[in-house]
Amino acid sequence: MECRKRNGQVVIPIFYHIDPSVVRRQEGSFGKALEVNTRKIHSEEDREKLLGRWMCELTQASNISGWDITAFR
């Protein structure tokens, strides 16, 4: 997402067996996995900062229009 903002690069999010709305809201097992991964960061301040950034960028990525690949099955 940073390269998209800075350099205008194209971002094509791929949501494999997950609805973009789940990623957008960081809920369910996706939200729990995100939490578990941030626990590995030792500094509480760094953890909160990184989690906030990830959540923001995941929300932005999930709001990008794309193709529904289930139509090609």
Query: For position 50, what pLDDT does the model report?
Result: 87
- Range 27-54 average pLDDT: 87
pTM of the model: 0.74
- Range 54-72 average pLDDT: 80
Task: With residue 72 as reference, give the H or E element that holds it.
Answer: none
- Range 45-57 average pLDDT: 89
Domain boundaries, the chain: 19-65
Condensed to tens digits (0 to 9), the pLDDT of residues 5-38 reads 999 999 888 888 888 889 899 988 888 988 888 8
Mean pLDDT over the full length of the chain: 85
DSSP secondary structure string, 8-66? --------SSS-HHHHHHT-HHHHHHHHHHHHT-S-HHHHHHHHHHHHHHHHHHHTS--
Query: For position 43, what pLDDT does the model report?
Result: 87
